[in-house]
Amino acid sequence: MSERSQETDAFADVCNQLRNHAYKLTPQRQTILKIFLEQGSGHLSAEEIYQLVKPHYPDIGLATIYRTLDILADLGILQKNDFGDGRSRYEFSRRDEHHHHHLICLRCGSVSEFDDDLLESLETMIAKRNKFKVVDHVLKFYGYCSKCQEELKRDV
């Protein structure tokens, strides 16, 4: 299946979820959803989304963005993340995919994702040893991206 048809399917699925929960599918909400689909694995703040939506809808307010993000997060369509920079960031939830984790640069604030199957075996071991059913986990590593490491070396 092509990437474009996957985006179209994902968009239609989210639209159906909104309708099934009696939410209106406003043009502004459609634009916000399309921005997330275009950004792929982007971790966008409400302010960043606002800047991307504003050219399409100059009269849109930041409160509308926040309300839409809250609705999409409550429905499990978006995942709300706190990376310690004072802003919530959002990404599409991936219920059917393997867990992914985040690397957060303390200097530039960039966020990248990584998958590591070792963490799944660790989760299984923790669950077994502690007789605890794990249903979710979040893992964030804070440090310096390669670009910032190079810049820090030059500054010394």
> CA-CA distance, 9 to 108, in Å (whole number)?
34
Please determine, looking at this structure, whether the domain spanning 1-95 carries the CATH number 1.10.10.10: yes
CATH fold for domain 98-156:
Dna Ligase; domain 1 (3.30.1490)
Task: Please state the residue numbers annotated as binding site.
Answer: 99, 105, 108, 120, 137, 145, 148
pLDDT value at 128 more than 70: yes
> CA-CA distance, 34 to 76, in Å (whole number)?
17
pTM of the entire structure?
0.67
Two tokens, residue 18: 């909104």
Backbone angles phi, psi at 129, to 5 degrees: -65, -35
**Domain-wise residue ranges, the chain:** 1-95, 98-156
Task: Please state the residue numbers annotated as binding site for Zn(2+).
Answer: 105, 108, 145, 148
pLDDT (tens digit, 9 = 90+) per residue, 131-153?
998 877 777 888 999 999 998 88
pLDDT (tens digit, 9 = 90+) per residue, 15-68?
888 888 888 888 888 888 888 888 766 788 899 899 999 998 898 999 999 999
Residue 68 has a pLDDT of 92
HEC string for the chain = CCHHHHHHHHHHHHHHHHHHCCCCCCHHHHHHHHHHHHHCCCCEEHHHHHHHHCCCCCCCCHHHHHHHHHHHHHCCCEEEEECCCCCEEEEECCCCCCCCEEEEECCCCCEEEECCHHHHHHHHHHHHHHCCCCCCCCCEEEECCHHHHHHHHHHC
Task: Please state the residue numbers annotated as binding site for Fe cation.
Answer: 99, 120, 137
